[in-house]
Structure 1
Amino acid sequence: MDRRKDGPGLTLMSHEGTPYRFDPGALCLELLPTGGPGVFARFEVLHTPADLVTWAGHSRLADGLDLTVDEDQLARARALRNALFLLTADRAHGRPLRREHLDLINAAAAEPPLVSRLGADGSRSWAPGATGTQLLSTVARDAIDLFSGPYANRIRECGAHDCRLLFVDTSRPGRRRWCAMEHCGNRAKVRAHRARRAPGEGA
C-alpha cells in the first residue's frame, strides 16, 4: 500500500501484481484494505505496531505525523477495522447496523483525537507525541461523520463480482460503481466488449 503526494487514495496491488489507485473517499474507509474479519484475515497487513504507523503515513492524514503505537493499540486498531468493515458492508447492502459494531466505534471516538495545528503559512501539521489511541479516535470520528452525513446513502461495494472493496461515492453525479476504473472498471469494459463480439465471431 502506498500513497501519492498529488491526492488522496491508496495504491493497491491486483491479484496479477499490477498496481492501481483506489480512493475509498474517506479516511475511515482507507483502513479497510488492511485486512478484515473472517475470510478477509488472509489480507492482514497490520502485523506489528510499525505497520499501523506506516498505514497512517499512507492515509489521508498529512505528512509529518509523529506517531507511537503499542501492541494494545494495534490490537484495538484491528478490532476497530473489523467492526468498521462489517458496519460498512451492512450499510452498503441496506442491512441494519449492528449494535456491537456501533458500540466499538463509539468507544474509540470517545477518546481524545489527534491534535492538529495551523502554521503561519496556512498549512496543517500535527502536535508531536501522537498515540495510536488518538489515531483510532480520529478514524472513528471520521466514520461517525460519514455514516451520519450527507453521503451515508452513497456507501457502496465495488460492482465487480469478485471484489469486496468498499467506498463512498462523493462524485457529483453519484454514479460510481467500481473501486477503480483502471482496475475493476476496465475489466468490466473488456468483458462487455468480448460479450458483444462473441455472437459475430461464432457466426
Structure 2
Amino acid sequence: MAWPATTRYGLPVAPGNLGLVQDFLNTITEGTIAPPDLLATLNDAQEWADQVIEQWISVDDLGWAKTLPRLTENDRKALVAFRDQLFEGLFGHSHSETAGGPARKNPTYHPVMTVSAGGIELWPGGEGWKYFETALLLICHQGQLEGVLRRMKSCKSDTCDVVFYDRSNNNSGVWHDVKLCGNRANVRAHRARSAVN
C-alpha cells in the first residue's frame, strides 16, 4: 500500500504520520500534469479515503489511525474547504480560487488531553471526518514541535501546488520536480531576460 495522492506525482513521502498530511494536500489537481482532484466527487473522495486510511493505519506510530465512517457529500465539501485552509496555514496561499471568500468559516477543532502514568497525551477529538481533520492538525503541530514541518513545502511554480517533503541538507528545495517545474521557470526567466535585451 502507498500514499495514493503523493505517489501519483512520483514523489518520496514525508516520514510517518506526516505522510498523511502530504497526501491529503496532494489530492489537488496540479496545473500542468493535471491529474484529477481526488476530492472532486463523492466517489473519488471515498476511493481516496479508503486507500489513505489503510495506509495511515500501516504507518501510524501515535495510535491515532482508525477506520472512519463512509463520507457524505457534506463531509467531502468540508474536506475540500479544510484542504484550502491547511494550504493557507502552511504555505500562505490557498490552492482553491474560491477559498478565502466571505462565506468561508474557520471552524474550531477540539483535541482531547488525557493524563496517564506516561504523562499528558493529546488525541484527536470529534467524530467521523472531524476526527480526521483534528488528527491532521495535531500531526502538523507535532511536526512543528519536532522541526520537520518546515520541510513540507508547496512547489514554487506559479502553476503547481504539489506538496513535497524537502530532504535536502539545508532545506533549500523549492520545486516538487526540478526537471519539470524548475526547468519551466528557468526557460521563462531566460525569455524575459532576452526580451529586455
TM-score of the superposed pair, with normalisation by structure 1? 0.52
**For 1:17-58, what per-residue CA distance to the aligned partner results, in whole angstroms no more than 9, with x for missing partners?**
xxx41346332131012249xxxxx7234623344112334x
Aligned partner of 1:21 among 10, 18, 38: 10
- Matches of residues 163-178 of structure 1 in structure 2 within 5 Å? 163-178=160-175
Give the SS at the match of 2:58: coil
Shift of 1:86: 2.8
1:121-140 equivalence runs, <5 A: 134-140=131-137
The one-letter code of the counterpart of 1:161 is D
What's the offset of the Cα at 1:177? 0.9
Equivalent in the alignment of 2:87: 88
* C-alpha separation in 1, matches of 2:81 and 2:135: 16
Consecutive unaligned residues in structure 2, runs of 5 or more:
30-35, 60-64, 95-99, 113-121
Offset, 1:163:
0.6
Contact 1:10–1:22, Cα closer than 8 Å, also in 2: yes
| C-alpha deviation, 1:142, in angstroms | 0.8
1:184 aligns with 2:181: yes
Q: 1:33 to 1:21 in 2, by over 3 A?
A: same
Q: Which residue of 2 aligns with 1:33?
A: 26
Q: Structure 1 residues 81, 169: CA separation in 2 closer, same or farther (over 3 Å shift)?
A: farther
CA displacement at 1:185 relative to structure 2: 3.7
Residue aligning to 1:128 = none
Question: How many Å separate the matches in 1 of 2:67 and 2:138?
Answer: 18
Q: Say how many residue pairs are matched.
A: 157
1:67 aligns with 2:62: no
The question of whether the paired residues in 1 share the 8 Å contact of 2:5 and 2:24 is answered with no
Task: Give the 3-state SS of the residue equivalent to 2:7 in structure 1.
Answer: strand
Alignment partners' CA distance in 1, 2:182 and 2:71: 38
The answer for the alignment partner of 1:122 in structure 2 is: none
State the Cα deviation string for residues 146-169 of structure 1 (Å, max 9, x = none).
345424544532122211223453
Name the Cα RMSD after superposition. Answer: 4.6
User: Contact (CA 8 Å) 1:33, 1:165: kept in 2 or not?
Assistant: yes
SS of the equivalent of 1:175 reads coil
| In 1, Cα distance between equivalents of 2:131 and 2:13 | 22
